[in-house]
Structures are given as C-alpha cells and as structure tokens.
Amino acid sequence: MSGLNSIMDTSLSAMFAAQAGLATTSNNIANANTPGYSRQTVMVAARRPEIMPYGSIGRGVEIQGIRRMQDQFLLHNLRAQNARLSSYTATDSTLFEIENILGSVDNDHLGDSLTNFFNSWAALAQPPIDTSLKQDVITSGISLVNDFHAIDQSLNDLDASIEKDIENEITNLNSLLDQVADMNKQIMASETNGQPANDLRDQRDYIITEISKIAEVSVIERDDGSKDIVLAGRTMVARDSVSHFQSTYTATDSGYELTIVTNGRRQQVALSTGKLQGLLESRDIQVNDVRERLDAVAKQLIDEVNELHSQGRTPISSGQTFFTGDGMGNIDINPALVANPDMVAMGRSGADGDAELAQAIADLASAGLAGPGSRSITDNYRSLLTDIASKRAGFEMMVSNQQNVVASLESRMASVTGVSLDEEGANMVRYQNSYNAAAKVISTVQEMLDTLMNMV
C-alpha cells in the first residue's frame, strides 16, 4: 500500500510541476508584447530519493522557483549606449534646426542678402554714376538687417524651445526616480518570503532603462532587493529615499552640472551623456556658438562699412555712419540715411563721379579691412555655414552608428529576455503531455488500489 501511495505522490508532484510550467508559459505568452517584460521559466529539481535495501527510488520533482531570464552585463551595456544615442540625437536635432534657420552652404537667405548688399554698392560705383541707385543700397541694407533680426529671433525661439525641453526632461527624470523608489519599496515588501518579485523587478528595470535615455545611470543592488540609482557619482535613489534635480544648471570644465537637493542641502551633479546632457550642450555650445559667430559677422559688417562710409562726403552731409548697433540683434540702418538716401556717401571728396568709397565697400565682400590675408565678411559667414554642415554630417553619422549599436544590443537582449511564441507553444504542448502522462499514472495507481481493496 505504501508503495502505491509513494507512486501517487510522485505523479502528483509531476502534475503540479507541469501545471506551474503551463501557468508560466501562459504568462509569457500574455506578456509577449509588454515593454520591459523578461521571459520566465520554472526551475525544478528532483526530490531527495527514498533509500531502499535494493537502491534509491525517486520521489518525484519539486518546484524551486520561477526565474526571469536576464543578462545584467548586456542590460548595463545597453543603458550606457542608450545614453550616448540620446545625447547624440539631441545635439543632431539642434544642428538640424540651426541648418533650417540659416540654410545650406548653397542656399541661404542671409548669404544672398549679403551678396545683394555688396552688389548694390558695386552697381552704385559703376560708371556712368547713377545716384538713384543709392535707394537700392538702402533697400538691400534694410533687407540684410531684417534677415539678421529674423535669424536672431529664430535662435531665441530655439533657445526657449531647448530650455523647455530641459525643464521637461528634468521633470521626467525626477518622476522616474520617484517610481524607482516606489518599486524598491514594493519589491522589499514582496520578497520577504525569499522569492524574487519577477514582474516588479521587470518594471523597475524598464524604468531604469528609461532613466538611462535621459542621463547615464549606474545601479547598485542591495541584499534586500532594492536598487540604488547613481547619476554622475551622486546617489539619487537609496531604497525608497529620493533626491530631486532642480531646473538650474551651469557649464563647467568637467561637464554640465545640475543642482540637486538632498536633505535640504544643494549639491552639483555633472552629467556626461544622455538626452539631458545633449540638450544642455546644444543650448550652451551649439546655439551660443552660432550666435557669437553671427554677432561677430554682424559686428565686422558694421565696423568695416562704417569705417569707410564715415570718411565720405556728399553735397548735404559728411562723416555719417551707415549702420547702427554692435551685433546681430540690434544692427540697423542709420535713420538719417533711410529718411534721405542722398546722404549715402560714394566718395571722400563728394565730387560728381567720385565713387571710390562705394567700390571699397563693395570690395569688402571678398577682402577684409584688417590687411592682406584678412578674411572678408562673406568668408567668415561662409565658414560658419561650412562648420555647421560639417558638424551636422558628423553627428548624423554618429547617430546612425549608435543606432546600429543599440539595435544590436537590443537584439541580443531579446534573444535572452524576449518571448518566442513558437518556443512557448512547444513548451505548452510539452507541459500538457507531461500533465496527461502523470494523470494516467495516477489513474493506473487508483485502479491498482481498487483491485487491492476488492481482494481484502
């Protein structure tokens, strides 16, 4: 009798194991498209056998736990590469917007306006002298000024847009840090029985991966199942305690620093990669560099044209500057000249036919006033466009290469953690067959017990 009961117990253990496997397979299939879900598998082992005089007889199978398939090395590498991709993408996007504002090397509105401006002076200097062309000089000058102002406003708008993106990403980052702390709390409470809370851990890992897209992250796992989140050497999450970023930052020699508040104390955190770092760099380097160089072009234009034009005389004026202002944002035409174009000076003597200064100003398109070898206004502007195009091409390539790296890592991760419906379908049949076979054994044992009882 005890032998039949032992066989019954062994078969029941097989049924329970098959049932657990089928339930796990069902869960995998249900979450095949769930972001961050890791495939789970039942861990089983043979029970300790029963020692008999003639040898050991197995006593069935026991379920040791449910394991989620995960590769922490791959996951860490994927997060680091995600941070780089987000940083490159943010910078590339900014350079794309700058290109849209300025145009390409072969097709840019400001460059055309500069050319038209200098051509209007060249036309004014050509004999026979036609003083009515002074109005064309004023008109082309106004068009050039308007283009500078439009670019200045567009860069201001881009600055504001990036600033808004920075604020949004800081808000998102703080929210994600809060979610990690909350998941830590839930996981610590759920794992008091010693078994891992697989689904909660998947959710937490997914949140941490989302954090890595905003800022490069390091993770330290504690014995209690919680994970500390470290950003740029600062612990932002410790168990269920969180430090938040403030929406203030500054550029330093070691990177871009955000302000955090921990226990009422303000500290600085320097970011290395991630979308937030890319946005900070875009705002404080890419946009500012373009603005500074355009300001330099506008100032060179103002200074060199004014230096020549102020030497001129007309029958009604002398010593007049052509431009006012000192940069892209406030450049303008001298209101006196706009009101009376006859005050536009063509030569130093003011005599009829003297167009020496008009020709000298036209020549500024190809040569600077600083002396032989100095770069012209047009050269400096074209150099800016070329540098932007070169940077954009570089970042485009970096983004493309980084996308390939991330895609390769995601594919490798999917092979470890992803759910294959074909594989799960095969497992389902395997567990079903195992369950049916164990049930058949139990049915057979039951018949044997009935026979034995009828014999009594």
Residue type, 395: F
Q: What pLDDT score was predicted for residue 256?
A: 54
The label of the residue with tokens 């500024």 reads: 364
Q: What's the burial of 102, exposed, middle or buried (CB within 10 Å: 0-12/13-18/19+)?
A: buried
Phi, psi dihedral angles at 445 (to 5 degrees): -60, -40
Q: Give the pLDDT band (50/70/90) at residue 2.
A: low
DSSP state of 233: T
Q: Is the pLDDT of residue 255 over 60?
A: no
Question: Smallest Cα–Cα separation from 114: which of 103, 126, 127, 125?
Answer: 103
Question: Smallest Cα–Cα separation from 11: which of 452, 446, 312?
Answer: 446
Q: Give the pLDDT band (50/70/90) at residue 192.
A: confident
Q: Give the pLDDT band (50/70/90) at residue 448.
A: confident
The label of the residue with tokens 């610590």 reads: 188
pLDDT digits (tens, 9 = 90+) for 402-437: 999 999 999 999 999 999 999 999 999 999 999 999
Q: Both tokens of residue 440?
A: 């058949």
Q: Is the pLDDT of residue 205 over 60?
A: yes
Q: Is the pLDDT of residue 265 over 60?
A: no
CB distance 39 to 28 below 8 Å? yes
How far CA 348 is from CA of 108, 120, 312, 359, 381, in Å, comes to 34, 19, 4, 12, 29
User: Torsion angle, CA of 99/104/109/114, rounded to 10 degrees?
Assistant: 110
Question: Smallest Cα–Cα separation from 188: which of 223, 228, 235?
Answer: 223
pLDDT digits (tens, 9 = 90+) for 272-284: 788 988 988 888 7
Question: How far apart, in whole angstroms, are the C-alpha atoms of residue 399 and residue 38?
Answer: 28
Average pLDDT, the chain: 89
Phi, psi dihedral angles at 441 (to 5 degrees): -65, -45
CB distance 269 to 231 below 8 Å? yes
Residue type, 164: K
Establish how many alpha carbons lie within 13 A of residue 217's alpha carbon, considering only the half-sphere containing its beta carbon.
30
Q: Give the pLDDT band (50/70/90) at residue 50.
A: confident
Q: Both tokens of residue 395?
A: 């970042």
Cross-strand bridge partners of residue 234: 231
Question: Smallest Cα–Cα separation from 416: which of 187, 205, 200?
Answer: 205
Question: Smallest Cα–Cα separation from 82: which of 200, 194, 215, 205?
Answer: 215
pLDDT digits (tens, 9 = 90+) for 61-73: 999 999 999 999 9
Question: Smallest Cα–Cα separation from 290: which of 397, 164, 151?
Answer: 151
Q: Both tokens of residue 26?
A: 């069902």
DSSP state of 273: S
Long-range contacts of 39-48 (CB under 8 A, 24+ apart): 39/68, 39/69, 39/417, 39/418, 39/419, 40/66, 40/67, 40/68, 40/69, 40/198, 41/66, 41/67, 41/69, 42/17, 42/66, 42/67, 43/67, 44/17, 47/13
Tell me how long the chain is. 456
Residue type, 358: A
Question: Smallest Cα–Cα separation from 215: which of 200, 237, 197?
Answer: 237
pLDDT digits (tens, 9 = 90+) for 104-163: 766 788 999 999 999 999 999 998 888 899 999 999 999 999 999 999 999 999 988 998
Q: Is the pLDDT of residue 264 over 60?
A: no
Q: Residues 359-370: what's their mean pLDDT? A: 86
Q: What's the burial of 354, exposed, middle or buried (CB within 10 Å: 0-12/13-18/19+)?
A: middle
Q: Both tokens of residue 276?
A: 């937030």
Question: Smallest Cα–Cα separation from 391: which of 148, 98, 159, 107?
Answer: 98
Angle at 17 (CA atoms; ends 439, 449), nearest 5 degrees: 30
Would you call the peptide bond into 128 cis, given omega within 30 degrees of 0 as the criterion?
Answer: yes
Q: What pLDDT score was predicted for residue 306?
A: 96
359 contacts: CB under 8 Å, gap ≥ 6 = 121, 122, 125
pLDDT: is 268 or 425 the higher one? 425
